[in-house]
Amino acid sequence: MTGSDQQPEDQVFVDVQPRLFAVAYRMLGSVSDAEDIVQDAYLRWRRVDIDQVRDVTGYLIRVVTRLCLDHLRATRAVRETYPGEWLPEPLITQDATERLDRDVSVALLMALERLSPLERAAFLLHDVFEHSYDELSEALQRSQSSCRQLVSRARKHIEQVDPRVQVEREQGEELAKAFFKAAKSGDTKHLTALLARDVQMHSDGGGKIIATLNPILGRDKVIRFFAGLARKPSAPQDYTWAVCWLNGLPAIINREPGGWVQATSLKIEEGRIATIYIVRNPDKTGHLMKLLC
């Protein structure tokens, strides 16, 4: 939808496109799938008589929501049998304060993944994007009473998500660099100083790259894990890596042996690393390669 093929009337779609991506990404937890959904919505938009559309934004969000619901239903079996722990596809954010039209934290996206597709859509449209129950009913093709129940059930799960803690850019990047160096060298002393006592580590290899199948909980266990990796004879000493921000968190992107990319994001609380998210699934990290160029 760029270049010489763009028509003047497409500007109305371009204006709302970031919001459509924001909806699709939260629904699917995937950058690539969200982009495909938005492109599909655009193709449908080109066939619409826009003079008959009173609320362009509302109409397009309904289209995107329904496309996402169809996608989730079609991929339900894949999601239910996902090997190991599922983490969202990392989203590049420019700095610690960027919200992409509100929260895109990993914790929120993981909580949304545990909801049914309809609960997810209802919560996002009503509580995140502030649609009325009347608009929600039209988008989901459910009664307002049913929509209220969907939102209520979703809130009970989302309320358990810890509020996102903002961290200054410089502090976040310095902690990310220090953690990366300590983890790769197996420096237990520095890891002890960097990690919170109750730190959690989550890893997603998608069954394609080796990763832990379950979360590792507690500082001692996390330190033993990284120390063990560093002691392996095959552990490389030279890495191509870069600091960035993913989903509003300070992160390290590095190229591992074999050419695949690993993304490590850090949730920081009170000056220590409270949660470590490691995405190794190559289907989710390919778009990050540009950060290493």
pLDDT computed for residue 158 by the predictor: 87
**Residues 6+ away with beta carbon under 8 Å from 20:** 37, 38, 41, 60, 61, 64
Both 276 and 180 in one domain: the answer is: yes
Question: Domain check: are 53 and 175 in the same one?
Answer: no
On whether both 70 and 180 belong to a single domain, the answer is: no
Asked whether the beta carbons of 274 and 164 are under 8 A apart, the reply is no
Whether 97 is covered by a domain: the verdict is no
At residue 26 the predicted structure's pLDDT band, cuts being 50, 70 and 90, is very high
What order do you get walking across the sheet with 216-217 strand by strand?
A: 216-217, 195-204, 272-279, 261-269, 249-255, 240-246
Query: Same domain, yes or no, for 147 and 45?
Result: yes
- Would 163 be classed as within a structural domain? no
Residue 271 reports pLDDT greater than 70? yes
Count the domains in the chain: 2
- Give 30-56 pLDDT, tens digit per residue: 999 999 999 999 999 988 887 788 888
Owning domain of residue 25: 3-83+115-158
Say which CATH number the domain at 23 has: 1.20.140.160
User: What percentage of residues in the chain have a pLDDT greater than 70?
Assistant: 91
Q: Are 123 and 221 part of one and the same domain?
A: no
Name the least confident of 81-90, 93-102, 151-160, 280-289: 93-102
Residue 106 domain flag: no
The CATH number covering residue 227 comes to 3.10.450.50
Q: How many CB atoms lie within 10 A of CB 197?
A: 10
Distance CA 6, CA 52 (A): 21
Question: What pLDDT is recorded for position 99?
Answer: 43
In this predicted structure, the answer to whether residue 14 has a pLDDT above a threshold of 70 is: yes
**59-90 pLDDT per residue, tens:** 999 999 999 999 999 988 888 889 999 999 99
Any domain includes 197: yes
Same domain, 8 and 145: yes
Does 200 score more than 60 pLDDT? yes
Question: 9 in a domain, yes or no?
Answer: yes
209 and 137 in a single domain? The answer is no
Please list the helix, strand and coil fractions of the chain in percent, rounded to the nearest 5, in that order.
55, 15, 30
CB 27 within 8 A of CB 68: yes
- 156-190 pLDDT tens trace: 888 877 766 778 889 999 999 999 999 999 999 99
Task: Report whether pLDDT(148) > 50.
Answer: yes
pLDDT, position 77? 82
